[in-house]
Amino acid sequence: MAYGTLYLIPCPISDETAPWEVLPASNREVMDALDYFIVENTRTARRFLSRAGIARPIDMLEFRELNEHTTAGRAVEELVQPLLEGRSAGVISEAGVPAVADPGALVVEACHRRGIRVVPLVGPSSILLAVMASGLNGQSFAFNGYLPVKPPERARAIRFFERRAHAERQSQLFIEAPYRNVKLFEQLLQLLAPQTRLTVAMDLSAPGQWVETHAVEEWRHRQVPDMNRHPAIFIIG
């Protein structure tokens, strides 16, 4: 029997954005055909599919969660089992594209190991939008995930990214929990060299999106919008 296919299904980054404002209409065909979804959070995934107006009633769909609470090995086996039996599945993360900066890669990996076909769909990624809009080097860039939380390690990480950005001309992206953005931004202005370029990209793909790139010395005497609780990406270039 032929295996099912694993589709990677993006959703909006922001609650303020309607699904079809940031997703190609052709994603709908795939979404309409599926009845099994592997999701980071069932509540937000149901809400997304419902706002997208897919063909099937949401209550007829099966949702299973894959997130940091799911224990790896055994749980992933079980998630993939229906695909081995010929059923296709959609992976949906909490925001943006799945399997980037979330646990979705575990199920993708399990599919490759078993020869199950994986198909990624187009959608919004704050990482990619930030690189595009930064004006920093887009021919070489690295996404580094979250900064360490403890102050000494955090400062070390920031200095490390600055050194690598300069030495390799590689733009260095990182993120922070949105309620810590203001503190992080202050710390960046303290720790980075005056000439180092820094991008702040906030609320990407949402109505109030805001991206600016300046040298650190210029950021120091600029007015900036309130960053508190606004999802943001930072890039050192």
15-34 binders of a copy of itself (CB under 8 A): 20-26
Tell which one of 139, 151, 167, 223 touches a copy of itself (CB under 8 A).
139
Kind of pairing, strands 197-202 and 232-236?
antiparallel
Q: What is each CA distance from 76 to 34, 125, 201, 211, in whole angstroms?
A: 19, 25, 34, 38
Q: Is 118 helix (H, G, I), strand (E, B) or coil?
A: strand
SS3 per residue for 128-179: HHHHHHHCCCCCCEEEEEECCCCHHHHHHHHHHHHHHHHHHCCEEEEECCHH
Please state the closest distance from residue 8 (CB atom) to a copy of itself, in A: 5
- Residue 178 as a binder of a copy of itself (CB under 8 A): the answer is no
- Residue 38 as a binder of a copy of itself (CB under 8 A): the answer is no
- Residue 233 as a binder of a copy of itself (CB under 8 A): the answer is no
Tell which one of 65, 170, 180, 182 touches a copy of itself (CB under 8 A).
170
Rank residues 21 and 77 by Cβ distance to a copy of itself and give the closer one. Answer: 21
Please state the closest distance from residue 62 (CB atom) to a copy of itself, in A: 22
- Residue 41 as a binder of a copy of itself (CB under 8 A): the answer is no
- Residue 11 as a binder of a copy of itself (CB under 8 A): the answer is no
Match 């979804």 to its residue by tokens: 37
Tell which one of 45, 79, 127, 206 touches a copy of itself (CB under 8 A).
127
- Residue 102 as a binder of a copy of itself (CB under 8 A): the answer is yes
* 199 Cβ neighbours under 8 A, 6+ residues apart: 130, 133, 134, 135, 136, 211, 212, 213, 233, 234, 235, 237
Tell which one of 15, 53, 77, 132 touches a copy of itself (CB under 8 A).
132
- Residue 144 as a binder of a copy of itself (CB under 8 A): the answer is yes
- Residue 212 as a binder of a copy of itself (CB under 8 A): the answer is yes
Virtual torsion, Cα 208, 144, 137, 11, nearest 10 deg: -40
Residue 99 in contact with residue 38, Cβ under 8 Å?
Answer: no
Residue numbers of the site for a copy of itself (CB under 8 A)?
A: 8, 20-26, 97-102, 104-106, 108-112, 118-120, 122-125, 127-129, 131-145, 170, 204-205, 209, 211-214
